[in-house]
Amino acid sequence: MKINCLSCGHTIDLDDAYSDYEGQVKCYTCSALLEIKLEDFCIKAVRFVKTTRGAAE
């Protein structure tokens, strides 16, 4: 399944292991950190945690 990054809008590909998942995923494109909640392949919540783009770390 796919979700859209809230920071850059790029599609993030999630494999079937994420069918029931609550936690953080990282956007490959902009390195933003998203907190997601998935139930039965449905997106229940997507929250932007932070972006690491341009950060000192």
Which residues sit at the interface with Zn ion, rule CB under 5 A? 5, 7-8, 10, 27, 29-30, 32
Min dist CB 34 to Zn ion, Å, is 8
CA dist., res. 33 & res. 31, Å (int): 6
- For Zn ion, the closer of residues 20 and 24 by Cβ is 24
Min dist CB 8 to Zn ion, Å, is 3
Min dist CB 4 to Zn ion, Å, is 9
Tokens for 41, please give them.
Answer: 């392949």
Q: Which residues contact 54 (CB under 8 A, 6 or more apart)?
A: none
